[in-house]
Amino acid sequence: MILINGFAQEPRDLRDAMVAAASSVVDSHHYILGPAVERFEGRWAAASGARHAVGVANGMDALEIGLRALGIGPGDEVITTPMTAFATVLAVLRAGATPVLADIDPGTALLSPASVERCIGPRTRAVLLVHLYGQARDLAGWAALCSRHGIDLLEDCAQSHLAVEHGVAAGTVGRFGGYSFYPTKNLGALGDAGALVTDDDDLAATARMLRNYGQSTRYEHPLVGLNSRLDEMQAAILDVRLDWLAAFTERRRAVAARYDAEIMQPAVRLLVPPVEPSAHARHLYVVCTEHREDLARHLADSGVQTLIHYPVPVHHQPPCRDIARDPEGLAAADAHARTCLSLPCHPQLSDDDVDTVIRAVNAFRG
Ligand SMILES: *Cc1c(COP(=O)(O)O)cnc(C)c1O
């Protein structure tokens, strides 16, 4: 079976380097906020193009901490997309702010600027842009839209590691970028981990306090913080895996480019390609089809696993049914949720695997 994730096929060298890194943390006797975290934070700031990276416990906390560090909370509205991991909206709720959902562009499944404009009101503080599936698109346009309305642009980069559009890295155009290093993400730990990146010195300093009980120096707590520290073990693993990230991302792009060029299936619509290959981290390769169940079954029969990202948009989740939204509705998000299907697109796929996936999709008779 060609799986959505390729952990079992990862290079032996990578596994051995992770075991060596874990072993050195065991022997260091330093397990929380130590040299491995500091080293990884420095390397991740450089890799993601930001001045600061603050390691936290997971991607959702990165967003919550960023929101709280900016003073976005009760009474403030944050506009975001219903077509995302639930954690995006949960972070806004956890910060005490009010999420408002705008619709997506059906061609890319990314937030629609026209719909966002309809959602802006007197209490809007920010747009939380999600680089869904790994794609950074029209970053300059989003920055201009937000600055025109005097609101902040924030970035959910949980799927967009190393995406760069027209020389601008995802996570560096907004006030902060929130990264997840959940194991299946393009850069993943062997457990939960995340980071907030920002060019803002004050924001980084506040985020560092918030992640550690709101502590400034030992036993001094000027803020009501949380416990959301990145631990040494995960930081050491991430440091190893970061050495492979650029090559793995290039492989994802090569696989996706073959799907873009070679999938020819009238029952399947491909998403609009990125403006340039570097603008897409190819975390997920998603197609749309009115025959999703049949296509998924046909692919499974051909030895190809598929998943759905995401079958239930945020506004249909029980805690969010009354959530504020675009007055014109969220029809494009609903249509996408009904028709989207993710094909295997990971760095461990062989050329033969890619052939198999393409042949299987093209052989489908809807
Ligand atoms: C994975 C993900 C998150 C949450 O990250 P965690 O590390 O699981 O908390 C948030 N937003 C998006 C778009 C994600 O894909």
The string of DSSP letters for 222-268 reads: -S---B-BPBHHHHHHHHHHHHHHHHHHHHHHHHHHHHHHH---TT-
Q: Which of 156, 157, 184, 231 to mutate to test the pocket of ligand 1 (most atoms within 8 A of CB)?
A: 156
H or E element at residue 58 = none
Instruction: Indicate if ligand 1 lies below 6 Å from the C-beta of 180.
Output: yes
Extract the runs of DSSP E, i.e. beta strands, from the chain. 52-56, 77-80, 98-101, 124-130, 152-156, 164-165, 168-169, 177-180, 194-198, 269-270, 285-288, 324-325, 340-343
Sign of the alpha-carbon dihedral angle for 121, 125, 130, 131? positive
Radius of gyration, alpha carbons of the chain:
20
Sign of the alpha-carbon dihedral angle for 167, 172, 177, 181? positive
Instruction: Indicate if ligand 1 lies below 6 Å from the C-beta of 225.
Output: no
Distance CA 137, CA 197 (A): 19
Residue with CA at minimum distance from ligand 1 atom 2: 158
Please give the pLDDT value at position 95: 98
User: Which residue in the block uniquely carries the two structure tokens 């939380």?
Assistant: 128
Distance CA 155, CA 327 (A): 24
Find the 177 Cα to ligand 1 centroid distance in Å: 12
Distance CA 316, CA 333 (A): 11
Which residues, listed in sequence order, are joined to residue 168 by a DSSP beta bridge?
165
User: Is the peptide bond preceding residue 259 cis, with omega within 30 degrees of 0?
Assistant: no
Q: Do residues 326 and 115 make contact, with C-beta atoms less than 8 angstroms apart?
A: yes
Give the mean pLDDT per block of 10 residues along the chain (366 residues): 97 98 98 97 98 98 98 98 98 98 98 98 98 98 98 99 98 98 98 98 98 95 97 98 98 98 98 97 98 98 98 97 97 98 98 98 94
Q: Which of 133, 182, 284, 308 to mutate to test the pocket of ligand 1 (most atoms within 8 A of CB)?
A: 182
pTM over 0.85: yes
Instruction: Indicate if ligand 1 lies below 6 Å from the C-beta of 6.
Output: no
Instruction: Indicate if ligand 1 lies below 6 Å from the C-beta of 80.
Output: no
Q: Which atom of ligand 1 is nearest to the CA of 58?
A: 7
Q: Which atom of ligand 1 is nearest to the CA of 131?
A: 13
Instruction: Indicate if ligand 1 lies below 6 Å from the C-beta of 58.
Output: yes
Distance CA 174, CA 164 (A): 14
| Three-state secondary structure call for residue 197 | strand
Please give the pLDDT value at position 81: 98
Instruction: Indicate if ligand 1 lies below 6 Å from the C-beta of 135.
Output: no
Q: Which atom of ligand 1 is nearest to the CA of 62?
A: 9
Please give the pLDDT value at position 236: 98
Find the 266 Cα to ligand 1 centroid distance in Å: 33
166 torsion bin: left (phi>0), alpha (psi -120 to 50), beta (else): left
Instruction: Indicate if ligand 1 lies below 6 Å from the C-beta of 156.
Output: yes
Return the closest-CA partner of residue 224 out of 216, 232, 234: 216
Q: Which atom of ligand 1 is nearest to the CA of 63?
A: 10
Please give the pLDDT value at position 366: 78
Find the 309 Cα to ligand 1 centroid distance in Å: 12
Edge-first strand order for the sheet with 194-198 is: 52-56, 194-198, 177-180, 152-156, 124-130, 77-80, 98-101, 324-325
Instruction: Indicate if ligand 1 lies below 6 Å from the C-beta of 186.
Output: no
Beta strand 269-270 pairing with 168-169 = unpaired
Q: Do residues 337 and 239 make contact, with C-beta atoms less than 8 angstroms apart?
A: no
The 10 Å CB-count burial string (b at 16+, else e) for 279-299 is bbbbbbbbbbbebbeebbebb
Instruction: Indicate if ligand 1 lies below 6 Å from the C-beta of 60.
Output: yes
